[in-house]
Structure 1
Amino acid sequence: MLKVYTCIATQHDLRLVALAALVCALASFTAVNLLHHVGRSEREMRRIWLAVAAVATGFGIWSTHFIAMLAFQPAVPSGYNIALTIVSLVAAIALTGTGLTVGMSPRVPYARWIGGMIVGGGIAVMHYTGMAAFEIAGRVVWDMPLVAVSIALGGLFGAAALPVALQANTIKWKALGALVLTVAICSHHFTAMGAAAIVPDPRIVVSATALPAEWMAIGLALASIVIILLALVGLVLDLRDLRRAGETARMQELADAAVEGLVVYNETTIVAANHSFAALACVDGSQPVGRLLESFFPTVSQGELTATARKPLEAELCATDGSMIPVELIRHNILYAGKQHQVVAVRDIRGRKRAEEQIHFLAHHDPLTKLPNRTSFNEKLEAEFAAHRGTDRCLAVLFLDLDRFKEINDLFGHLIGDAVLQCVAEKIKNVLKPEHMVARLGGDEFAVIVPGLPSPAYATRTAEAILNAFDETGVNLPAGVTIGTSIGIAVFPNDAPDRATLLSHADAALYEAKLEGRGIYRVFEPSMGEHLHDRRQFEHDIRHAISRNEFSLVFQPQAELHSNRVFGFEALLRWDNGTRGAIAPTVFIPIAEECGAILKIGEWVLRTACAEAATWDRPLGVSVNVSAVQLHGGNLPELVEEVLKETGLDPSRLELEITESSLIKDIGRALAVLHKLKDLGVQIAMDDFGTGYSSLSNLRAFPFDKIKVDQSLVRAVDTSDEAAAVMRAVFGLARGLKLPVLAEGVETDAELSFLRAEACDEMQGYLLGRPCPIAEFAQHTSGEGKAAAPQRLRKHKLRVVKDSAA
């Protein structure tokens, strides 16, 4: 290598050597810079920029060689063969272009290394072709080992130049790549020049056509200008790319801020995407850029995608893990990176789909039991009717109503009631076949559709299976909770020709099953429709009894045992229907509670009784019975306050009788209502004591003013030692709690004697007087009347009244 150094130091103009190195570096950087534009270009522009990069590199190699040749100062005349000089330039450009093309190819393994070696080979070809164009008055003797070294240096550094230059699109890697390429060109040239030794020979004459050094300098100047122009072109492209990169970065930041996914594509391939789309589609952490758009939306055609510019399109996004995600697409055209592109907004609609499914489910199902609701039941029944018409198969409808479900709610509360309904739903579903359908129609009412039956008799099998399922104890239910059901069955086409009639007949069969004892099923018979019609008519008559003035009040006196003084009356309701005649309270009161008419009836009784009592000259008390429905479902304290103000009745004269069973439904609410009533100043009595729970805790917890012992305990006190013992215990309990006791249903002198002996406080019954219109007791309500003995009052009333109702 000393020979190379000596060649440079003694045989070259170092100023021109420096110029050659500078031109080489400028050309190399220009080539590397342009090469990066090749990677960002497409189709025809890619080939154009490859050609421009090849020209820049070829001119750089050629200029470096010939500037260095001008710096070479041999002691003999010299010149340049024009043809070979041009061939050397063409060879440099051609081989460099081939190497760059190979280096940028994505299909060639180790393309950058191979392409770089081809560029290195182009350096050698250009150099030795250029040396062949060098004419001199002498002979050139080559040192072959150095020739080999020069070729190896150009190939090795050239092979490394492209991988380094294309490592990243940054100034650092561009500069390093240009430096390696410069080293490849310069090391090859000066090593090759060191391998050449010129032996002067006067016999060799430089041809007259040889290009003198001065003309070569002009050509090199022109080549340098080309290189400089290409460098300026690269600089302009860099500035443009920098500006676009800034715009792209701002667009990307704005796109990443969007909640919706955004995808920019050029007809088929994704060129940009925001974080939202990458997170949605590429769950494996990969990037969507560079992938085909159809790989994410395989079911969407270009026509459908184009149409989304006018109307959003619902489609499915195929994520990288294979899952299909429902999305909504909207497409627009945009200018991206200076070119026309398309952008698609991708909206994840999984939440909306879930909400729609939930809304649809709630519209067609019962939220508590998750069973189909009445709407779904009717739709299914209509479809089954259409399918069964004209066939020899039967369609059965089963109506189910839980037995004594109201008692479960009253005793255990609505939470247990809800658990019972859920348990019932599971029991029924477990015994049905897939083609059957069970629905909850409301409250404790269920219905089952049983299609495809060979004959009507087969419907009873399903009913029996359901009843057998109810025999099993329900899980997760408190001890003592028993569930029973009654079932009514109607069959198409035997029992009804249409849906409405079929449902009505199933309801009639259910009503018959409940009348006959519950826990059974009944198949519709024509006579059942008449019973159901009577029940519906009965309910209708109850609701209109007030407006028809069919209700009336009778009063039964109450007296103190120690003074025989009548202190008040109990108001009792009577109903005289225009077509049915007199109807006993034990018949119509339960039905009024079931159909909800009891609230209006109870209000009418309270208003009428208080208004009547307010007209009495003597301040006697009046007792009014309160239904459990009034206690828990109405605004009883507000109603009582309003009635007292309207009638002017002293609150202390009003006594409300409440049965213990009506308190159990919601003890907290019942206690709050009773305290509000006590605040008004009215009296509260526990009615029918001895027939319900007779709980001592209730007597302590609730603000009762009196205990009314049921007539079932009174009637046997003179004949049964056990009954007498129970009554004595009640009296002892009442004295301990300092509560007066009123005995109901006193009918004989023996019963009265027992009550007097046990120091009972008050009495009521036929012995004292039967329930009668208040006019029959004018001697007690008027200011002139005097208190009468119970026996005398009884005799008077027995002569006046023939009423046998209690």
Structure 2
Amino acid sequence: MMLKVYNCIADAHDFSLVGLAAFICVLASLAAINLLRHARKSTGRMRLVWIAVSAISTGFGIWATHFIAMLAFTPGIPSGYNIALTILSLLAAILLTGAGLSVSLIPNWRHGPWIGGAIVAGGIAAMHYLGMAAFEIAGIVLWDPTLVVASIVIGAVLGATALPVGLHGTDQKWKIGGALLLTLAICSHHFTAMAAVSIIPYAAIEVPLSTLPAGWLAVAVACASVVIIALGLAAIVLDVRDERRSELEVDRMRELANASVEGLLVCDGETIVSVNTSFAHLAGVPASTLVGVRLENCFPDKAARARLLAGSNQVVETALRHSDGSITAVELLLRPIIFSGRPHQVVAVRDLQARKEAEQHIHYLAHHDALTSLPNRSNFNARIEQEIADLAGSESLAVLYLDLDRFKEVNDLFGHAAGDTVLQTVASRVTAVLAEGQMMARLGGDEFAILMPRVTDPEQAGRLAETILEALHAANDTLETNSISTSIGIAICPDDGIDREALLSHADTALYRAKTDGRNTYRFFEASMGTAIRERRMLEHDLRLAIARNELRLVYQPQKGVRSQAMTGFEALLRWKHPARGDISPAVFIPIAEESGSILEIGDWVIQAACREAASWEQPLTVAVNVSAVQLYNPDFVQQLHQTLLDTGLSPKRLEIEITETALVRDFNRALTTLRLVKALGVRIAMDDFGTGYSSLSNLRAFPFDKIKIDGSFIRSVNSNSQAATIVRAVLGLGRGLGLPVLAEGVETDAELQFLRDEACDEVQGYLLGRPAAINNFRHLTHREMVVDDAPEAAPAPRAKSA
């Protein structure tokens, strides 16, 4: 009767031994996977030692599983086991398993685990069939070739899969999965191969006496099982200890990583394994949601990722994509690292947002004015050159050059903070009226320029200039911004120039003409302007050097009392003798000095020279000096005046400063404060050119004047113009009513003098009494004994009485 092994499982097998075989198989597989993973973490000789331990454990497990399962089979006829073949089967299992495990750990070979697993499956097959060859039984053993091939194929497939799974990842599920696949490879091969066996009992076949009885085999298998269990327990202990060590290492690394300001990612290939809190905060998502995510989800730039993973140790700049789709500029740097006992890559992520913003801010500051936020000179130059290069057809390009009128006085009157406010106000008001494509820039100080492209008619530039002037006249609550006005010069490309330098120069020339023509207006460039503007600028340059070159001098014009005919003093008048141009009229150079600011230095020189000269006179005559509005609003004016009196030794009551009423209206309170301080020094104050300015009676009442000077234009008309005569009489009566002496300028005829005498004028000055000349021409008046009219110093009551 033929015995089929699979047909006698129910009544010819000991199920307790079958269960023990399965347990041994599982335990051996777990030990194999754990020991193999431990071997992978080792290097050098220790790796070979752990591979050998794993090979012995796995080989014994395969062998023990097979023979325990064979012991579970009791066919009821004599049987035994050939000792040599039994030992050979064990050696085959150990050696082939060791070879397969070694192949699976070949570095940087991704097919190694698959091929190694197949070799281990080959060891299972070799052990099984050698073991079956060692099985001696009183019968004939027959094999089913189909099932034999099937057992080998099934074992090879499952074995080739077991090692890649068991070596993948760090989670327990991969270890367990690999161990289960290896167990299935062993068991499936064994039971499929056993199903291929058929036994025909035959009493004539005797079992050799040299065969190993089943009892002895049981002892051998028991010993093998003990070894397997011991190795398995050792593997588990090692695995637990290794996991704890890995956890501690990971915890330490995580703590160090979290302490880093930079973002850190640990990657296995392109898969994120771990991140620190800095990167999670930068990405805007919890750290746990990033584990297992691929790098492309965070860094979408494929080329940047390729450069990073190439391991060139070069910094890679790319963009980090957030969960909401927004991006942040970052900088990446990759380094290799051993993480959890395996090679990984750590990527340092540096946030470039602050640096990018700083770079943008620096770029902005390099091309814009910090105060007004307008483009600066370099930005404007680049833009105008581009516009000139792009100019084509019948279109033109207009450049408007702006300069604020009397801006220096704003700084002097209200301080630099107010000046800054004015500049900001100008920038905001003008840019509000510009059209798209037009550009306003601050070139420096109070100078601005406007670029107006695509001009088809020059009148368009003129209309824009008018709009700007109107915009700057807009009402404002502050005094300093209410006084804003500007002069504008306009140049057209290509009519007035085809390059930047020529356009700006010609626009500046037109601007200068606008200022000369009365300010708060605009002018187009004309070729004839060039010569006049250059002449004026040359005068401005030479005027700055006039004091150092000793080109300035003072001339003096006498002042006399009308009633006593006695000398009262002199008015000091400034003259400039240019070395090449000769004498230049004060009407020419004084406005230039006021505009350029050199009037402060010139005015100080005039006061010092006049006081020094008057202090040398033997007679106590007064000296009158004209003071510009620029000087009056200079915060150091009173202090410098006081110091001059101390240095020269001139009595303050002998000095008289003449102020035009125009100078008072710019800042009433400040002018009043300054004049009161001057008055406190004992210096006399005269209102000059009364009748030609505002002629406000409130000014006469509010300011501490000591004298009124009637402008010479009225005196020259008293004989022929009844209205002029009436005005002079009114001023003289006003002076008497206010108790202020009145001096008439420009007296040139006896008739004019007689008129003033008849009207009880106090003092006179003019060509009739003496032309302005060097003080040496009047030495007979300043150094000999003479009667000095003290009428200006007398109380006003007698004059009022005589009137």
TM-score when normalising by structure 1: 0.63
Q: Identify the residue that residue 263 of structure 1 maps to in structure 2.
A: 265
Q: Identify the residue that residue 709 of structure 1 maps to in structure 2.
A: 708
Letter in 2 for 1:379: A
Alpha-carbon distance, 1:787 to partner = 1.7
Alpha-carbon distance, 1:423 to partner = 3.8
Q: Identify the residue that residue 504 of structure 2 maps to in structure 1.
A: 503
Q: Identify the residue that residue 354 of structure 2 maps to in structure 1.
A: 351
Query: For the Cα contact (< 8 Å) 1:663–1:670, is it kept in 2?
Result: yes
Query: For the Cα contact (< 8 Å) 2:562–2:764, is it kept in 1?
Result: no
SS where residue 220 of structure 1 aligns?
Answer: helix
Query: For the Cα contact (< 8 Å) 2:626–2:657, is it kept in 1?
Result: yes
Q: Identify the residue that residue 537 of structure 1 maps to in structure 2.
A: 538
Choose the corresponding residue for 2:304, options 264, 280, 300.
Answer: 300
Structure 1 distance, partners of 2:253, 2:657, is 79
Paired residues, what number?
Answer: 658
Q: Identify the residue that residue 278 of structure 1 maps to in structure 2.
A: 280
- Say whether 1:414 aligns with 2:425: no
Q: Cα gap change, 1:65/1:655 in structure 2, threshold over 3 Å: closer, same or farther?
A: farther
Could you give the per-residue CA deviations for residues 23-76 of structure 1, whole angstroms, max 9, x where no partner exists?
9999999799889999999xxxxxxx9xx9999999999999999999x9xxx9
Alpha-carbon distance, 1:379 to partner = 1.7
- Say whether 1:546 aligns with 2:547: yes
Query: For the Cα contact (< 8 Å) 2:623–2:655, is it kept in 1?
Result: yes
Could you give the per-residue CA deviations for residues 578-619 of structure 1, whole angstroms, max 9, x where no partner exists?
455544434322211111221221232133223223322345
Structure 2 distance, partners of 1:26, 1:729, is 131
Aligned pairs for 1:790-805 within 5 A = none
Letter in 2 for 1:228: A
Q: Identify the residue that residue 10 of structure 1 maps to in structure 2.
A: none
Structure 2 distance, partners of 1:386, 1:461, is 21
Q: Identify the residue that residue 379 of structure 1 maps to in structure 2.
A: 382
Letter in 2 for 1:462: A
Q: Identify the residue that residue 320 of structure 1 maps to in structure 2.
A: 323
- Say whether 1:426 aligns with 2:431: yes
Could you give the per-residue CA deviations for residues 719-772 of structure 1, whole angstroms, max 9, x where no partner exists?
2499459826971xxxxxxxx74534355455566567xxxxx75633876644
Query: For the Cα contact (< 8 Å) 1:423–1:474, is it kept in 2?
Result: no
SS where residue 532 of structure 2 aligns?
Answer: helix
Structure 2 distance, partners of 1:623, 1:487, is 38
Alpha-carbon distance, 1:665 to partner = 6.4
Q: Identify the residue that residue 782 of structure 2 maps to in structure 1.
A: 781
Query: For the Cα contact (< 8 Å) 2:431–2:440, is it kept in 1?
Result: no
- Say whether 1:224 aligns with 2:226: yes
Alpha-carbon distance, 1:466 to partner = 3.9
Structure 1 distance, partners of 2:471, 2:663, is 29
SS where residue 314 of structure 1 aligns?
Answer: strand
Query: For the Cα contact (< 8 Å) 1:396–1:451, is it kept in 2?
Result: yes
Q: Identify the residue that residue 463 of structure 2 maps to in structure 1.
A: 464
Query: For the Cα contact (< 8 Å) 2:560–2:765, is it kept in 1?
Result: no
Bigger drift between 277-286 and 478-487 goes to 478-487
Letter in 1 for 2:507: A
- Say whether 1:246 aligns with 2:248: yes
Q: Cα gap change, 1:220/1:466 in structure 2, threshold over 3 Å: closer, same or farther?
A: farther
Q: Cα gap change, 1:295/1:526 in structure 2, threshold over 3 Å: closer, same or farther?
A: closer
Aligned pairs for 1:109-188 within 5 A = none
Structure 1 distance, partners of 2:550, 2:410, is 36
Letter in 2 for 1:328: E
Letter in 2 for 1:500: E
Q: Identify the residue that residue 153 of structure 2 maps to in structure 1.
A: none
Letter in 2 for 1:365: H
SS where residue 300 of structure 1 aligns?
Answer: helix
Q: Cα gap change, 1:301/1:66 in structure 2, threshold over 3 Å: closer, same or farther?
A: closer
Could you give the per-residue CA deviations for residues 355-394 of structure 1, whole angstroms, max 9, x where no partner exists?
22222222222334433222222222223333348x6654
Alpha-carbon distance, 1:421 to partner = 0.8
Structure 1 distance, partners of 2:697, 2:571, is 24
Structure 2 distance, partners of 1:362, 1:750, is 69
Structure 2 distance, partners of 1:55, 1:694, is 121
Q: Cα gap change, 1:721/1:673 in structure 2, threshold over 3 Å: closer, same or farther?
A: closer
Structure 1 distance, partners of 2:224, 2:534, is 115
Q: Identify the residue that residue 765 of structure 2 maps to in structure 1.
A: 765
Alpha-carbon distance, 1:300 to partner = 0.9
Query: For the Cα contact (< 8 Å) 1:270–1:291, is it kept in 2?
Result: yes
Q: Identify the residue that residue 6 of structure 1 maps to in structure 2.
A: none
Query: For the Cα contact (< 8 Å) 1:470–1:483, is it kept in 2?
Result: no
Q: Identify the residue that residue 599 of structure 1 maps to in structure 2.
A: 600
Q: Cα gap change, 1:518/1:728 in structure 2, threshold over 3 Å: closer, same or farther?
A: closer
Q: Cα gap change, 1:304/1:621 in structure 2, threshold over 3 Å: closer, same or farther?
A: farther
Q: Identify the residue that residue 187 of structure 1 maps to in structure 2.
A: none
Structure 1 distance, partners of 2:782, 2:226, is 135
Structure 1 distance, partners of 2:63, 2:679, is 117
Structure 2 distance, partners of 1:729, 1:419, is 49
Structure 2 distance, partners of 1:367, 1:222, is 87
- Say whether 1:437 aligns with 2:444: no
Alpha-carbon distance, 1:668 to partner = 8.7
Could you give the per-residue CA deviations for residues 235-269 of structure 1, whole angstroms, max 9, x where no partner exists?
22333343343333333222222222223334433
Query: For the Cα contact (< 8 Å) 1:556–1:771, is it kept in 2?
Result: yes
Q: Cα gap change, 1:473/1:488 in structure 2, threshold over 3 Å: closer, same or farther?
A: closer
Q: Cα gap change, 1:782/1:534 in structure 2, threshold over 3 Å: closer, same or farther?
A: same
Query: For the Cα contact (< 8 Å) 2:661–2:694, is it kept in 1?
Result: yes
Letter in 1 for 2:380: F
Q: Cα gap change, 1:525/1:288 in structure 2, threshold over 3 Å: closer, same or farther?
A: farther
Unaligned runs of 5+ in 1: 1-15, 42-48, 95-132, 136-167, 178-206, 732-739, 757-761, 792-806
Q: Identify the residue that residue 744 of structure 2 maps to in structure 1.
A: 745
Q: Identify the residue that residue 495 of structure 2 maps to in structure 1.
A: 494
Q: Identify the residue that residue 526 of structure 2 maps to in structure 1.
A: 525
Cα RMSD of the aligned pairs, angstroms, is: 6.1
Choose the corresponding residue for 1:727, options 708, 728, 734.
Answer: 734
Q: Identify the residue that residue 9 of structure 2 maps to in structure 1.
A: none
Structure 2 distance, partners of 1:475, 1:30, is 92
Structure 2 distance, partners of 1:723, 1:611, is 37
Alpha-carbon distance, 1:232 to partner = 1.8
Structure 2 distance, partners of 1:63, 1:25, is 11
Q: Cα gap change, 1:395/1:270 in structure 2, threshold over 3 Å: closer, same or farther?
A: same
Alpha-carbon distance, 1:529 to partner = 1.6
Query: For the Cα contact (< 8 Å) 2:735–2:741, is it kept in 1?
Result: no
Alpha-carbon distance, 1:280 to partner = 1.3
Structure 2 distance, partners of 1:63, 1:695, is 130
Alpha-carbon distance, 1:351 to partner = 1.9
Structure 1 distance, partners of 2:310, 2:656, is 81
Structure 1 distance, partners of 2:299, 2:243, is 30
Q: Cα gap change, 1:665/1:514 in structure 2, threshold over 3 Å: closer, same or farther?
A: closer
Structure 2 distance, partners of 1:601, 1:588, is 11
